[in-house]
Structure 1
């Protein structure tokens, strides 16, 4: 195959200049080239000339598709795909270094260096597995090690496309890769991510023990493959007599013949390696060895009853995220609140008029950054009151389960401020530690001041809690000033817009390693979503956060941001994966439990949500955790308990506004319209979310004030034009006004908006829209699905009554209507036409007639 093929057409002319050949593999030839446009060296991979054909081309295209999805520092990156009609080429990152096979031959590496490489491979492999991609040809030749010691996995997709029989009949291919195959892959059985773990075990065995786990000798490929499937691997202790028990146990589990006996995920392997790296090979106590082994060993099944009990235990512990081995490593959790910054004197900065709020925002950002430098610590959201003293605020924090408060006091004279930082024990209101130092307010010095404040704040905490200090990530002065203005806007929740996200995206492109910009992006996105219900904001945010992986940004901060965004969606597996990673980093359990409770609530798993919320509230009796208890009680129509919980919450935290919104929802369902309106309107207008406004619209709707209800809904739609719930409520209003054409217009909009959105609430709105548009078969099927998924949810029953009534299934409609009435739902809710149809049917029970049809 000649290299001229790359330069035959105008598409390639002038962009990639081929300079030589780097090597050849099983399917491709790799060339060294220069990207003339960007001035960088690249590797260009073309299909071998002797492998022409649709099958080979399809495999090559598959590799391109897979690499395009894999953006990670431990995976070789794909830059471009070149096609000239007859030939395809992949333009890839040029890795300056050697293969892991060559690295093992050339380096007398320490155990620490070897563990570090294996952990890097785990990170790259974990990224692939998280996207459902299995490598299937993981071997030392397919791992590159840069001159700086960075491991990068390559050759994704090719082995995935080959079946085992073809591999075993090609001696040249087997000789290079059968060593890496798992027993199930050799046998042609279905494989999953655990197949890659076997291959990883083979690599780890050779890297750590300087010996391959299976001796090939003079065996032919087929005989060697038979050995992998039926013969045990060489005991690690035989290859390396001094191997720590922990590493031997890890290798034994990875090289197990049966997939179910291997670790569940590459994340578990990473954490076991990390534990060995932290404690060293000398920490070979029985407890330590049992800890790593516990991470890898699965309980033996003893029948369905025991399996069911284990599943229940796993669920109670948060789907396996609270592993026993972590408890002896974890520091006591810290829950930290930031008190309002105290600034006295006159402050100025060159070229800036309104410097005080910007400098205050900078100091608050610096304190926030400091909490990210601490282990086993979580920052607690705290909205300070302007009407009470600092001492009174600290007293209130104590009742919220907060352990530490951070206070910054500044005394300024023009461009110079003396800052005093205090860490306060909230339980006894005593200053634990304090430090003073000068900072400059001049715009050219502000970023340096922020970095200094961050590191000094982290130093207020015990050394055991401190991570390595972060390096300063400077922005251009203009960008930083704009960023501070956005932080000030965010702290006041001041009408954040998608333009603010556009600005942050520009900052991220300019400063990809600045953790602050990612964290702020997630906060702004969550605020916009809560105000508008625009789910596209969440999708774009996850993309932005994923792009930061491997960029050198703080991993825990990114995980926190991802968790917050994921909690609004329906990706349970992704959400639990992030929870697991945070827990492995020693993140406080109460925070984990609360996030899991909120996620369960959003997925309609209210009994689980209530259980987790109660555990979180017991550990930390914060208003948020107490609120989570209440909304899960409300969702299962336990009105008395929910009301009691919310009333206690309002008494203790009178400015926790979500509680008033939930209380309004309870009174609405019970028909106490006046009380509902009082609870909702207690919330200041400027901080009412779209959900709160929606409930206010429902108040007017139930009062028969349809024009006022319409006005509220239209106001919400101005800021959130694709809001499914509000679009549906608009249709209901027009239905009650007798404008069927307009109602159908909005019902059709609901159908369009819910085509690709599978959340619980959207199923309910879609089912009702289908029913009112006359598509009874589809609406009944969806209602039945809802009843299977969340049978106790009030709105599920409310949806089912209308769907069955419009379908003419009167007995089913009557059955669920009786349930709604018996749990206390007010007759005011049943004025829609679908409910009125029930009153005229002979199947309607006397209880329904007496309550609703008088």
Structure 2
């Protein structure tokens, strides 16, 4: 939506007249209207988001609005300064949060390589933040790389525009992409704690595996139907829904050779089986972190093990398999060559 200066003034005067907030500039946010501004009371830059309300008739939206205020000074969640339904139209939820500088996690990954243990740390921090949301009787519903600010040490969940009460119904106008809806969202038509666990699992899969295709054309190509420009998009959506309903989404995505069985088990428990609680997810990650090498992707054919059993290793993929090297300060020595990723992971587990 293109909001000019006059419209900025309209939002300022019409919706925020008594809120001690000065809007400064528009920030593009898809179907929502959003601004960077300054909060006179808190003396901080703020992010102000106006969200259309496609709520069911009779739904108690006041609970979400009032509860969002309690997400202040929480770990790994952006500070919420205010949330309210605009009094003039009653058709928009307005959320005022602290404005954070920095890269979203998807952009950070594009600029820097994230190691396996760094990925685990990120997810463990996200679990702490999402637990605070769940403890208030809410689900986030829209956890993805683009909604997380990351400075290399601490991830912060910044977009709370999709937060709803646990058990909220799925609406036709729901903005959550099909790719990020868990199987029970389709089968039961509600959002639960497990819905957020599914999304956290997808984030872990992306960080560890390096990719999660979001283009519907990737999934459309899995169809047995003859595709043309008129049906590619719809068929791609159909394939995504089919895969998600069967908990088979990640089965069709190529995996890196360093994607070991132990981290695979955790991801499957999150995406396919669905942990019963975030606490069990967190404990499993903490245990796994101590049991796996700290891999980092150097290129499409080269992988560095930053630390394993007090040594460093490098793996180079070639036409015959995987060449494994030990790395020291002075020289690099080739140890062995294996044929498959399974043999590769067995080698490191047996060190």
Q: Same fold (TM over 0.5)?
A: yes
Three-state SS of the structure 2 residue aligned to 1:234 is helix
CA deviation after TM superposition for structure 1 residue 250, in Å: 0.5
Q: State the distance in 2 between where 1:118 and 1:188 align.
A: 27
1:183, CA displacement in angstroms?
0.5
Residues 272, 232 of structure 1: alpha-carbon distance in 2 compared, 3 angstrom cutoff: same
Instruction: Tell me the equivalent position of 2:123.
Output: 118
- Please name the residue that 2:143 is paired with: 138
**Aligned-partner Cα distance in 1 for 2:15–2:205:** 49
Q: Is the alpha carbon distance of 1:255 and 1:80 closer, same or farther for their aligned partners in structure 2, counting shifts above 3 Å?
A: closer
Residue 80 in structure 1 maps to residue 85 in structure 2: no
Paired position in structure 1 for 2:329: none
Asked if 1:273 is matched to 2:279, the reply is no
1:254 pairs with 2:290: no
1:237–1:248 Cα contact (<8 Å) kept: no
| CA gap 1:18/1:163 in 2 versus in 1, 3 angstroms | same
| Aligned residue pair count | 268
Q: Provide TM-score, normalisation by structure 1.
A: 0.29
Q: Is the 8 A contact 1:178 1:221 kept in 2?
A: yes
Question: Does the CA-based 8 Å contact 2:69-2:83 persist in structure 1?
Answer: no
Structure 1: which 5+ residue stretches go unaligned? 284-854
CA distance in 2, matches of 1:273, 1:267: 10
Deviations 1:142-201 (A, max 9, x none): 3232x363212244463647743504xx7xx46xx2111101102344443122211111
Q: Using the alignment, how far apart are the partners of 2:53 and 2:215 within structure 1?
A: 35
- Please state how far the C-alpha of 1:221 moved relative to its aligned partner: 2.5
Is residue 232 of structure 2 the alignment partner of residue 224 of structure 1?
Answer: no
C-alpha displacement of 1:79? 0.5
| Higher strand fraction (1 or 2) | 2
Q: 1:674-713 to 2 correspondence within 5 Å? A: none
Does the CA contact (< 8 Å) of 2:170 and 2:190 recur in 1?
no
1:736-776 deviations in Å (ceiling 9; x for gaps): xxxxxxxxxxxxxxxxxxxxxxxxxxxxxxxxxxxxxxxxx
1:211 maps to 211
C-alpha distance in structure 2 between counterparts of 1:180 and 1:12, whole Å: 37
2:17 counterpart SS class? coil
Q: 1:60 to 1:30 in 2, by over 3 A?
A: farther
| Alignment of structure 1 residues 498-647 onto 2, 5 Å | none
**Paired residues for 1:110-509 under 5 Å:** 110-145=115-150, 147=151, 149-156=153-160, 158=162, 160=164, 163-164=169-170, 166-167=172-173, 173=175, 177-212=177-212, 216=216, 217=218, 218=220, 219-230=235-246, 232-235=248-251, 238-256=254-272, 261-281=273-293
1:40 aligns with 2:44: yes
Q: Where does residue 68 of structure 1 map in the other structure?
A: 69
**Structure 2 CA distance, aligned partners of 1:133 and 1:53?**
17
- Greater relative contact order structure (CA < 8 Å, 6+ sep): 2
Contact 1:143 1:154 in 2 (8 A): yes
Tell me: CA distance 1:232–1:82, structure 2 relative to 1, closer, same or farther (3 Å): closer
* TM-score relative to the length of structure 2: 0.65
| Mapped partners of 2:101, 2:83: distance in 1 | 21
1:196-231 CA-partner distances (Å, limit 9, x unpaired): 211111111111101228884234424421221126
RMSD: 3.5
SS in 1 for 2:130: helix
Larger proportion of helix: 1
- Report the Cα distance in structure 1 between the residues aligned to 2:289 and 2:259, rounded to whole angstroms: 14
